[in-house]
Structure 1
Amino acid sequence: MKNSEIKALTVEQLKQTLVEEQDRLLKLKFAHAVSPIENPMRIRNTRRLIARLMTELSAKDKAASA
């Protein structure tokens, strides 16, 4: 998901996507612990996507309260 796509999301869509990505990260970590997954870079990419979503969510919250 690109930054421009993230910026276009509403607050509710950001929260929903964030929950989905956190769930995906948890499943990836469990799968990798049991047996190494084919592409471990997916864990890093998912973590970074979660960080971008959280950053945009906090920016929108800050803008709404100001």
Structure 2
Amino acid sequence: MVCMNCGANAEKGFTTDVTDVGDCLIIVRNVPCYKCEKCNEVLYTADVVAHLEKIVEMAKQLMQEVSIIDYGKVA
């Protein structure tokens, strides 16, 4: 995959996604991504974005101050 930021090659890998939603900080670990070799830009596929949105909505309903979730362990 090509980085949309700088045009360099982006390799498959994993990252940690952090979402701040008001009073709640949602941390999702082991998120599959493409990471640019040059600028470290992180790119997600559409299915990963959809799954992350589902995880964030679920975590918001729990109303915890901080939620740490493993991407691969959420159906």
Query: What TM-score results when the alignment is normalised by the length of structure 1?
Result: 0.33
Higher strand share: 2
Higher helix share: 1
